[in-house]
Amino acid sequence: MSKNIIIFDTTLRDGEQSPGASLTVHEKIIIAEQLSKLGVDVIEAGFPIASQGDFDAVKKIAETVEGPIICGLARAVDKDIDRCWEALKNAKKPRIHTFIATSSIHRDEKLKKSKEEVIADAVKAVKRAKSYCDDVEFSPEDAGRTSIDYMCDVVSAVIDAGATTINIPDTVGYTEPEEFAHRIKTLFEKVPKAKDVVISVHCHNDLGNAVANSLAAVKVGATQVECCINGIGERAGNAALEEIVMNIKTRQDFFGAHTNINTKELFKTSRLVSNLTGLEIARNKAIVGLNAFAHEAGIHQHGVLQSKATYEIMNSEDVGWSGENIVIGKHSGKHAVIALLEEEGYSLTKEQSEQVTTKVKDLADKNKTVERDDVLAIAMNVLGELPEEEQYIKLEGFTVTTGNSMIPTASVKLSIEGESKIGTGVGDGPIDALSNAVWTIIDPSVKLLEYNLKAITGGTNALADVSIKLMDVNEKVFIGRAVHEDVIRAGLLAIISGLNRLMNDYNKGK
């Protein structure tokens, strides 16, 4: 009989910890709603104690998103667990996920605690979480480098304390598939009561083994996999949800398992997460990359034309992949634009929908036709805009002078909290000159880490989509993004967007 594998999505928690992938509360809700449509069993919505923003996001998702279990993360500390429950208490299906490190390097160097003290803290945390809700998950952090005997002692103790899901994380992506499978198999052998709870795995991709390790664990009895859309996450990322799911679906003969995922929503969800986080998907990415179902070699093309099965082990339709790009003109109505966005998983307010429609019509007036990706880029830009009261910096005007025999020179006029300021600068190019002009007005300790430009669709009149990363003096990273038909203006607006997010974070911390 086919066993059900629980898909635990941690895109909004571990995935958001990808450097520069910070999301707003509204963006997190949009992703959570799409994850619900995708059919994930558990959404780990965030780490409520980490920040007010994380708390607000978990609370809002718990209150509004239906279907999946809504989970929050908490260290094995009373205040973390209490804060987690405060955020989750209105969820129809809440889960508290608590953890403590168990490897010797973490116990000795980070916690400064003995084995016995760690077990006592773990048991106390599970019992406290259990006093709030029945569904409690426990993770021995860095289990992949924890002695198997001690890991089993910890697991046995927390099961007795009431944990209903035990997650075994390869926190630093250290283990190899055969080795990790042996660890899970040994757990079942040494702790017989593990068969009475859900055994989960959470694998990182530092050595590129996250998916392979997770699937090896499923093969020997694990029934929950923790993963992220597009494999995003700390350092090299987590196991990619779409790869886990499609391995199980495509090779049911091998795994004897299934999931509750609506695979036709995979491509849409992947693109939504990529757009909102600003983390691009490699063209050759398995399952959801643009090349995943493309064939260039002549011999491959010939085979596919005769029978797709010659070179395709999956149907592109099964993951919701489509090469189509619909066209919207200036006569297309608001309903067509909104329908397109809803189809792609975007949920906009009435005001945001009107802004997108206006911008689409303006672009159509200039470019005659607007394609699907243009609309999505415009929607992303509108969603990324901070509320009026949080836009401390506004662009009033700019000029750039450049040419093949002169040094690019720029001046920019900004309104900073209502006060107009002018800056000038020179650089290697127009964008460099503009950014240097901005730094003459803004705190020069702010650094521009990355500048990424892409054309949304082909042609010289393509929309320019610019994303940037700024770092403040505390090495905190902020993303700015802007879309405009003028590539130079788009770059300047992206810098201003990032600075507004930085200032907003600073002012909230006062």
Residue 52 belongs to a domain: yes
| CA atoms of 217 and 197, how far apart (whole Å) | 15
312 and 216 share a domain? no
Residue 410 belongs to a domain: yes
Residue 291 belongs to a domain: no
Residue 289 belongs to a domain: no
* DSSP-assigned letter for residue 232: -
| CA atoms of 354 and 358, how far apart (whole Å) | 6
332 and 214 share a domain? no
Q: Are 453 and 442 in contact (CB under 8 A)?
A: no
341 and 208 share a domain? no
374 and 434 share a domain? no
Helix (H, G, I), strand (E, B) or coil at 113: coil
Instruction: Using the 3D structure, point to which of 358, 384, 410 is the last residue of a domain.
Output: 384
Would you mind telling me the total number of residues written for the chain in this entry? 510
Note the pLDDT of residue 300: 40
User: ∠333-334-338 over CA atoms, to 5°?
Assistant: 125
DSSP H or E segment with residue 46: strand 42-46
- Cβ-based neighbour number of residue 279 at 10 Å: 20
Count structural domains, the chain: 4
315 and 424 share a domain? no
Query: Which residues, 6+ apart, have CB-to-CB distance to 129 below 8 Å?
Result: 74, 81, 84, 85, 96, 98, 136
317 and 344 share a domain? no
DSSP H or E segment with residue 170: strand 165-170
Note the pLDDT of residue 304: 39
Among the listed residues 55, 37, 453, 72, the one whose alpha carbon sits nearest the alpha carbon of residue 272: 37
352 and 422 share a domain? no
Note the pLDDT of residue 113: 96
Residue 288 belongs to a domain: no
Q: Are 110 and 101 in contact (CB under 8 A)?
A: yes
Please, what are the averages of pLDDT over each run of 10 residues along the chain (510 residues)? 95 83 84 97 97 93 97 98 98 98 96 97 98 98 98 98 98 98 98 98 98 98 98 95 98 97 95 86 90 54 50 80 57 71 79 83 72 79 75 92 91 92 93 91 85 75 82 83 87 90 74
**Cα dihedral 74/78/80/82 (nearest 10):** 110
* DSSP-assigned letter for residue 229: G
pTM for the structure as a whole = 0.81
394 and 443 share a domain? yes
Q: Extract the tokens encoding 202.
A: 């959470």
Instruction: Using the 3D structure, point to which of 341, 357, 384 is the last residue of a domain.
Output: 384
DSSP H or E segment with residue 335: helix 334-343
Q: Which domain holds residue 405?
A: 388-508
Amino acid in the structure at residue 2:
S
Note the pLDDT of residue 305: 45
Q: Are 60 and 30 in contact (CB under 8 A)?
A: no
Among the listed residues 79, 81, 34, 23, the one whose alpha carbon sits nearest the alpha carbon of residue 56: 23
Q: Do the bridges between strand 447-455 and strand 464-471 make them parallel or antiparallel, or are there none, so unpaired?
A: antiparallel
Residue 146 belongs to a domain: yes
CATH of the domain at 451: 3.30.160.270
CATH of the domain at 189: 3.20.20.70
Residue 51 belongs to a domain: yes
176 and 193 share a domain? yes
75 and 197 share a domain? yes
Instruction: Using the 3D structure, point to which of 277, 310, 343 is the last residue of a domain.
Output: 277
| CA atoms of 235 and 470, how far apart (whole Å) | 18
368 and 392 share a domain? no
Residue 287 belongs to a domain: no
Note the pLDDT of residue 322: 63
* DSSP-assigned letter for residue 274: H
335 and 190 share a domain? no
